[in-house]
Amino acid sequence: MSVPLHVPYAESRPLPPYRALFAVDAKDFTGLPAAQHGPVSQLIPQLVDQALERAGLNQLRDAQRFPANTGDGVVFGFDPVHLPFVLWPFLGVLDDVLGLYNRQAVGPRIRLRASVHVGPLPDDGEPGDGNGTARNDMHRLLDSRPVKAILAAASEQVTHLAAILSERVYEDVVQGAYTGLHPDRCVEVSATVEGKNFSQRAWLYVPSPSGNLVRAGIKPREEPVGAAPAAAPDKEPSTERRGNSQHVGEGAAVMGNVGGDFTYTAPATMYRGTNQHWGSGDNVAGDKQVGDGSHR
């Protein structure tokens, strides 16, 4: 039975309902041995559901729309009324659940990228439910350079989750003050995907920042936003800061009021970001590049 295709702009039709979207995928999943792919694919939705329960979102866990296991992660839609609680406390709780698992696990570490978006999507109980531009954009955000670069640069012992929020989610939920997630915990980025015609303004949130993210002023969620800044760490032998040039032994160093080029070189990741907002006004623009292990 064929499904009729609507001709664009030929007539008006009802707008599909707005659905919030959440997705995660695992860092370095394809690098795992084949025998571990199945168990990890089953484990990730279990960890997500466990975090939903601990965050008091049992209703959301049981009311997911068009859920899917993507192999290296999960994706589902939900009523946007839950968006404030997904941003806070759920993302932080998910980070805690992953950290607890990773500290006890004898198998591979599970570190996740997450994306959160909202938009009109069909949801009529039909096979094509959940497909549309909003779903495509959510996956592009999940695969974008900034969120991959942040997770790659952070400590695997401390940072277990990096989340990217769409501009619509950030404006409506975070700037609208409907959530406990303060805007100063978010970092503005230009989300691009290598090989794809995609570029959107988005916002990064890292529940447990580590290393250079902390030195850049990204606050862990336990620290009150208005708290006095911690004393600057002692200068390490491998770290040199001079003007807009930064030299680090490992990671991606970002300091306040940075202008000019930003280049990070490490295994198998390339990141180029512009128009980034750190905390409440520090800007970063430039390239992140990975190759031979040198840093500048």
Rounded Cα distance, 248 and 251, in Å: 7
- pLDDT for 146-188, tens place per residue? 999 999 999 999 999 999 999 999 999 999 999 999 999 999 9
pLDDT band at 278 (very low <50, low <70, confident <90, very high): very low
Q: What is the DSSP string of 102-140?
A: HHH-SS----EEEEEEEEE---SSSTTTT-SHHHHHHHH
Task: Write the pLDDT tens digit of every residue in 41-61.
Answer: 999 999 999 999 999 999 999
Share of the chain above pLDDT 90, in %: 63
Please state, rounded to an integer, the average pLDDT across all residues of the chain: 79
Mean pLDDT value of segment 215-243: 46
Delineate the domains of the chain, giving CATH numbers in brackets: 18-210 (3.30.70.1230)
Q: Given this model, what pLDDT does residue 203 score? A: 98
Q: pLDDT tens-digit profile of 238-277?
A: 333 333 333 333 334 343 333 333 333 333 333 333 333 4
> In the predicted model, what is the mean pLDDT of residues 229-238?
38
For residue 24, the SS3 value is strand
> Residue 85: which pLDDT band, with cuts at 50, 70 and 90?
very high
194 DSSP assignment: T
Phi and psi of 258, rounded to 5°? -90, 135
**Top-confidence residue, 296 or 7:** 7
- Residue-wise pLDDT tens digits, 13-45: 999 999 999 999 999 998 889 999 999 999 999
What is the per-residue DSSP string for 228-294? PPPPPPPPPTT-EEETTEEE-SSS----TT--S------TT--EEEEEEEETTTEEEEEEE--SSS-
**Higher-confidence position of 6 and 3:** 6
Q: Is 116 or 282 the better-scoring residue by pLDDT? A: 116
| pLDDT number for residue 216 | 63
Average pLDDT over residues 62-79: 96
Q: Give the per-residue pLDDT at 218.
A: 67
pLDDT-based confidence at 207, cuts 50/70/90? very high
